[in-house]
Amino acid sequence: MPNNSLEQIASDLVARATRAGATAADAVAREGDEFSTTLRLGKIENLKEAASKVVGLRVLLGARSATTFSSDFSESSVARLVERTLAMARVTSEDPASGLPDAELLGRYEGDLQLYSGDVAELTTEDRIEFARRAEAAALRADPRIKNSEGAWFEASVGTRAYANSLGFVGSYRGSYCAVSVAPIAQDGGMQRDYWYSVARRAGVAGPPSVGPKNFYLAAGPHSPDDILRSGNRALAAGACFRSRARRRHLSQRLFPDRQAGPEGGGAERHHR
């Protein structure tokens, strides 16, 4: 569905709500495609592909508010949605903090926020399954002590979201993301499970997991950050199983000093215990 069609749906929903008595309202309309798969030891355990659409409405009656959602865009469903949301708002308690933003805070950015990448939509079902399969295979190759796996997972989503409110703002954007993760199990006297994941707007950033020295290598056994750095094995270091958040931050800062630090010293792509 084109962006302007979703914008029209959201705008019409807001107009219906205000005509029905809402003092203010805003609405979202979204349509997209979702995919997810889970593999364990190379075999597919779950596979889901679905097209989805949803419309959501929030109405305000003074300081009272209510929000409802529906996947039915038909005329009769939209009418019931407005009626039901208003009825809910009438019986909710007042919240003085609820409401729309001040009109002067609303604006529009005309540039490209780079929230959408066509390469995610272009991935075939086989490509997406292969992401998870290669993730698990890379983890199992990383160290001979890694003998088992709790599985690997890949998810992708592409869609368009529109927003409108009773202050006159209407806008929409396209978005995409994909995510891949793996959870290997190491055996060396006892068993240790760890995991790695990456989330990105573009499929090329999420990886194939065999590309790059820091991707997908989850280490088995105890190592200190300094021991690993002295070994020169950045692949082992990036995936090492550290229990302390401070130790993870210490290693990340030494391995990737040019990366903008986040709460744990990582950027958009993180390697977590």
- What residues contact 110, with CB distance under 8 A and at least 6 apart? none
Q: Does pTM surpass 0.95?
A: no
In order along its 273 residues, the chain shows pLDDT tens digits of 555 699 999 999 999 999 999 999 999 999 999 999 999 998 999 999 999 999 999 999 999 999 999 999 999 999 999 999 999 999 999 998 889 988 888 888 888 888 999 989 999 999 999 989 988 888 888 888 888 899 999 999 999 999 999 999 999 999 999 999 988 888 888 888 888 888 889 887 665 444 333 333 433 443 333 433 343 433 333 333 333 334 444 434 444 445 444 433 333 333 333
Instruction: Determine whether domain 3-221 maps to CATH 3.30.2290.10.
Output: yes
pLDDT of residue 186: 86
What are the DSSP calls for 184-243, one per residue? EEEEESEEEE--EEEEESSHHHH--TTSSTTSS----S---HHHHHHHT-HHHHHH----
Q: What is the pLDDT of residue 224?
A: 38
Burial of 145 (0-12, 13-18, 19+ CB in 10 A): middle
**Alpha-carbon span 131 to 128, nearest angstrom:** 5
Structure tokens, 18? 């205000």
